[in-house]
Structure 1
Amino acid sequence: MNKINATRGVYFLANNGVFEQSVGFLRSFRTHNPKLPLCLIPFDSDFDKISALKNTYSFSVFDDSSLLASCDAISEKFHGFKLGTYRKLVAWEGIFDDFIYIDVDTVVIDSVDFAFEHLKQHDYVASHSNIETIRRWVWKDSVYSTNLLTTPQIAYSANTGFFVSRRGLLPMKHCSAKVSGGLELKESMELDCMEQPFLNYLVVTSGYSYTSLLRLLTAENAPAAKLEWWAGTPAGRVEEGKLYHPSGAPIFLVHWAGFSNNFGGSRAGLPYRDLWEFYRRPGFSADIL
């Protein structure tokens, strides 16, 4: 495949239950990425309100029911019920040669085009990794005694709300075949974080090159990398739809993982509420294409 002509695009995962977050995400994404192709992966069958936005925000819908069912089957192995977050695995079988996946509890405050450039050196790029304080959101302490992963594989422990990769690297047949190995680690997985442990397991045992934007910026001498900001982190400065890092590091998206209950009603307790409302507020035009 000629990489110059490779198709590039972004996937997001949603249903009607996250309608408010989805509108904020879509408005922010299209504000800063007006032409980049976008595709919805349905979290479940209840997504008609989200789908109704596809003309306004110019996105397609992933509709291969058999692949989505395969993701559901994997989630049942780990949780005992269908959990739609595992459906992000279909990104490796989707319509884009090079792709980005972004969770909808996010506002995008800059172009994401820079992220594709890192696929020249790596096969999978997450947002943050190799931080001991977030390792516990992937693996329990008991993972070390299993001897099933190396210390560097455990240390990677990346957030899976944002990642960049290429079609075909982790096809569904491969993901399904890795379930038995993943289940050996089930008791050491932090399954409250849904698909995050299994996806980390897939990546670190894949044989492909993986890293994160944080490591690119701090350890791999890639100054063009930009960073994600977790809304639970204080000290960011918000101004006109942007968030500025105290150190001056460039921020391209802000995510609210762990704050899903703060998006309704008055949105009391939502950190950086003014940033989110900059994109969601009624006075901000929905037609920004």
Structure 2
Amino acid sequence: MNRGIYIVANDKVIDNAIALLNSIRFYDQEVLIYLIPFNENYHNIADKLSTLHNVQLFPNLELIEQFTQRIGDIFDKDFLALPNKMRKLVTWFGPLDEFIYIDTDIVVFEKIADNLDKLSEVDFFCCDYHHANDKLRNIFSPLVKEQQIFSDSQLEDVFNSGFWASKKGIITEQQMDNALRECASHREYFDFSEGVTDQPILNYLVLKLIAKRGNLVKIPGGGSGSWAGSQNFQQQDYALYDRGQRLKYLHWAGIKIKANSPYWELWEYYRYLHEGKFAFIPKLTRRLFPFVTARI
């Protein structure tokens, strides 16, 4: 069985992607990782990530182009702010039997692929508190609840689209096509007011088509948070903790990563991990990245 990670990226987000991949490889040198190009401007990032971390290009670029065309045929031009963000949906038809999808504005703090073991219990899982904090915001309009498009219990499973996992074949191409056409016929179901693109549609697909769902934070006492907008996390040894629990990952969702952004120094550490920019380099870093040297 092939297990691994997918990302979607292009040359514009190369720094974020390097930070993410540095953090993944910090804890896991072996996991398979595939790059799905966001658009045609991906050759620099593909070369860089391949050289640094053995990231492979999604093997069926024709499938991606066909899917992109299908999205353009199904949805009106003004429906989706960034239609190419929908390319992450090809993960269900890629080379990995079990996979985690991760946005590039994330860094991880553990061997993240180990979480795929959860797929022995469910067919899809996320790991965030969107259901508790933002609820239906940036996903569905109140109409979905009012018209009972989904039950209250189903709506408790809404999630952020930046980190989630599933299995190849759980959704067929025909099922996805039908569900996407339903979405295109009911713009009133969705909350696009803050410029999101894929998140409302992905939530609709998952709630509609995958019955066995899970959320890694839904454990007794609650799991750790993950949003960089939270000021409650404590840093220790280039990882973050929430009420004593180590975060699985940190996501700058809706936050531009730049100097003075929340947890900027942590992002910067992972971004330059292999370039020796920082004076203090933990032993684990030297073991995984022996070419790292301290900055003078």
Give the TM-score normalised by structure 1.
0.86
Q: Deviations over 1:137-179 (max 9, x none)?
A: 2112232233322222233211111111111112333211212
- The residue type equivalent to 2:122 in the other structure is H
Pair 1:96–1:138, CA change in 2 (3 A): same
- The residue type equivalent to 1:274 in the other structure is E
- The residue type equivalent to 1:106 in the other structure is I
Retained in 1: the 8 A contact 2:5–2:113? Answer: no
Retained in 2: the 8 A contact 1:41–1:87? Answer: yes
Q: Deviations over 1:92-130 (max 9, x none)?
A: 111111111111101111111331111111100011253
Q: Which consecutive residues of structure 1, in runs of 5 or more, have no partner in the other structure?
A: 1-5, 220-225
1:271 alignment partner in structure 2? 262
1:59 alignment partner in structure 2? 55
Partner of 1:95, secondary structure, is coil
Matched, 1:126 2:126: yes
Give the superposed CA RMSD: 2.4
Fraction of identical pairs, as percent:
25
1:243 alignment partner in structure 2? 240
Partner of 1:214, secondary structure, is coil
d(CA) in 2 for partners of 1:228, 1:114: 18
d(CA) in 2 for partners of 1:193, 1:86: 11
The correspondence of residues 1-289 of structure 1 with structure 2, limited to 5 A, is: 6-53=1-48, 54-73=50-69, 75-76=71-72, 77=75, 79=79, 83-128=83-128, 129-191=130-192, 192-216=195-219, 218=221, 227=224, 229-245=226-242, 247-260=243-256, 263=257, 267-281=258-272, 282-284=275-277, 288=289
Partner of 1:18, secondary structure, is helix
Pair 1:278–1:228, CA change in 2 (3 A): same
Q: Deviations over 1:216-258 (max 9, x none)?
A: 4557xxxxxx64511001121123321111x112312111111
Retained in 2: the 8 A contact 1:228–1:255? Answer: no
Partner of 1:193, secondary structure, is coil
Which deviates more from structure 2 when the two are superposed, residues 33-42 or residues 80-89?
80-89
d(CA) in 2 for partners of 1:20, 1:30: 15
- The residue type equivalent to 1:30 in the other structure is R
Partner of 1:187, secondary structure, is helix
Pair 1:253–1:232, CA change in 2 (3 A): same
Give the TM-score normalised by structure 2.
0.84
Q: Which consecutive residues of structure 2, in runs of 5 or more, have no partner in the other structure?
A: 278-284, 291-296
